[in-house]
A and B are shown apart, each in its own frame.
Chain A
Amino acid sequence: MDKDTPFARLALALGRMAAALFVIAAAISVYEVAMRYVFGMPSTWAHVTVTTMCAVGFALGGAYAMARGEHVRITVLFDRLPRRGRGVAETLALAIGLFYLGGLAWGLWGAAERSIWRFSADGAWRPETTPGPPNWPLPALFKAVFVFATVLFALVVVERLVRVLRGKAT
């Protein structure tokens, strides 16, 4: 099974890494509270960093949940279909998923390109940054991750579709 689902395995592996971001984000938030309340020194980076870390987790969570077969669906009709009918319904469901993810990825590609491929008047590379200090390119980074995560999600769907068409799964 593992051999013909490399993208699902990649999604699971990346998910395991991304999950750690939530723990780190919580730790940063507690640190921020302490710095502000105890020392009166709020940071300008904590909120943006925490937001981006969680957003990266959310983006990769879609492919991760797909690889684990956890996306919710209504199965009232599906469960009553004969085996062949289920195959058709599943193919349709995955094709619709691909259509959506393809459209989303296409749109995200443009947004990411505009965010990353930016130059200042003197020609220096200036990817989109947070509006205030520390002016890290977090928005550009997130958009890049989001495109990648959406494409990975789509590839996991393709893998599943191939298996369904070969009759290996329903």
Chain B
Amino acid sequence: MLAGLDIATWSALIVFGIAGLLVLGVPLAFSTGAIAVALCLVVYGPMSLFLVASRSIEFLDSYVLVAVPFFILMASLMERSGIAKDLYTALNVWAGRMPGGLAVVTVFVGVILASTVGVIGGEIVLLGLVALPQLLRLGYDRKLAIGTICASGSLGTMIPPSIILVFFGITAGASVGDLFLASLMPGLLLAGLYVAYIVARCARDPALGPPPPAQELAMPLSEKLALLKGVALPIAIAFVVLGSIYLGLASVTESAAIGVAGVALAIWIRGDMTVDLVRHAALQTLSTCGVVLWLVLGTNALIGVYNLMGGIDFARSLLTDLPFPPIVVIMIMLGVWILLGFFLDWIGIMLLTMPIFVPAAEALGYDRIWLGILFNIAMQIAYLTPPFAPAAFYLKGVAPKDIALDEIFAAMWPFIALQVVGLALVVTFPQIALWLPAWVNP
């Protein structure tokens, strides 16, 4: 009986199934995977469980993922050694009396880190371990602090280098270099929107982002300068990582390992190095990866079964011959991406939609590079939208235990709104994305 259903009915059943299991409190690592297994069994029989296994093997046993644990390891080492605390103490004093100053600094740190990673995960863990305790200690509004960290930590795939843009370039046949260039300004635009939002809210209500205590600010200049030592090591590490990428020493993934080595060296210089410190950092890495990657395994399996069942053709049938002007078709694509982003990760969304969207956008005369940037911004939104919100999951693993997932979700909305504004701006003014590649390659 079930096997005779058409793909539209299946699609609806899948969406309701995921939503139902999530609401019931089924761990996310189980919900989408269980649906994938059920679909395999019902529609194709037990042999087809090979699909679930094969996709899971392919996903975990891949060099692309290696940067994630390296960056988390680096973050965890920095936090446990006190390097991070010294950094934020110094930044805090130097950020001065400005309301929300430390949150603004966090966005800047996010942008700089983003230029050293191409994946999501490590950066959020880093900011979650390093910036969140400091923001909370100073009495920042919890939601503002959490939202700032999740949004700016997600910039890792928005500011080049970016794994999403590389995959899009290969999938859509677009120049990866142009995509990197085109993504830079929209990435900075998003960061600018976050800063503007933080400043505006804290200016109206300074209690949301209070300045440091008077005695910390009333420090003599000599002490303030002494605090700069706390900044020197992290800046040196950032230079080493960036330098290793841009001077041609290392690939982007390898540079994350160089970052780990740099942090280890810095800890050793400070005299804090212990076996215990490394062991705890490594366990933190294992547990964070265990949580987040097992959660992606399920959605990744589900997308494979859905494609096999004709998901791509179904999506195509929905989008063909729409009697709308081109820009409305683009809006529909954005809507589909944002909607899918609630439930799926970017790889799944790319696999499902690009076979239809790339030719469709092209037929309408739109630039592939622009389409890639719109996709990239839509995936920034997808990182934050519950229930499948990778940014929230990475943060949850390292946040203080009293911060529940619900609270993290609730903190996202203003930043999601800002991302939608950013997306709308790039839709309306494609030049935000396209002028830089055009200027570099006339």
Say if the two chains contact directly (CB < 8 Å).
Answer: yes
The prevalent SS among residues of A at the interface is: helix
Assuming A15-B283, A33-B254, is B291 touching A72 (CB within 8 A)? yes
Complexed CA–CA distance, A20 and B52 (Å): 28
The chain B residue sitting closest to A86, CB to CB, is B25
Provide the residues of chain B in CB contact with A52, threshold 8 Å. 61
Complexed CA–CA distance, A151 and B419 (Å): 41
Chain B: interface size category: 35 or more
Contact B286 A18 (CB under 8 A): yes
**Residue in A25, A58, A93, A106 whose beta carbon sits within 8 Å of that of B26 in the complex:** A93
- Report the minimal beta-carbon distance from A137 to chain B, rounded to whole angstroms: 13
Provide the residues of chain B in CB contact with A118, threshold 8 Å. none
Q: List residues 16-70 of chain B with CB under 8 A from any CB of chain A.
A: 21-31, 33-34, 36-38, 40-41, 46, 49-54, 56-57, 60-63, 65-66, 69-70
Assess whether A164 is interfacial by the CB under 8 Å rule: no
- Report the minimal beta-carbon distance from A22 to chain B, rounded to whole angstroms: 5
Provide the residues of chain B in CB contact with A126, threshold 8 Å. none
Assuming A23-B282, A33-B250, A65-B287, is B66 touching A103 (CB within 8 A)? no
**Residue in B30, B53, B393 whose beta carbon sits within 8 Å of that of A97 in the complex:** B30
Assuming A20-B282, A51-B63, A57-B286, is B250 touching A77 (CB within 8 A)? no
Provide the residues of chain B in CB contact with A106, threshold 8 Å. 46, 49, 53
Provide the residues of chain A in CB contact with B250, threshold 8 Å. 33, 37
Assuming A61-B293, A77-B23, A104-B53, is B249 touching A70 (CB within 8 A)? no
Most A C-beta atoms less than 10 A away, residue of B38, B56, B404: B56
Enumerate 16 A-B pairs (CB-CB under 8 Å) in ascending A order.
A15-B290, A16-B279, A20-B282, A22-B286, A26-B73, A29-B254, A30-B257, A59-B60, A64-B287, A75-B25, A75-B405, A77-B23, A96-B26, A101-B30, A104-B56, A108-B56
Q: Chain B interface (Cβ within 8 Å of chain A)? A: 21-31, 33-34, 36-38, 40-41, 46, 49-54, 56-57, 60-63, 65-66, 69-70, 73, 244, 249-250, 253-254, 256-258, 260-261, 278-279, 282-283, 285-287, 289-291, 293-295, 297-298, 301, 386-387, 393, 396-397, 404-406
New A-B pairs, 9, CB < 8 Å, besides A54-B69, A75-B404 = A29-B254, A57-B285, A72-B28, A72-B295, A74-B406, A89-B24, A96-B26, A97-B29, A99-B34
Q: Chain A interface (Cβ within 8 Å of chain B)? A: 15-16, 18-20, 22-23, 25-27, 29-30, 32-33, 37, 47, 50-52, 54-55, 57-65, 68, 70-78, 89-90, 92-93, 96-97, 99-104, 106-108, 110-111, 139, 142-143, 146
**3 tightest A-B contacts by CB?**
A61-B290, A107-B53, A103-B37
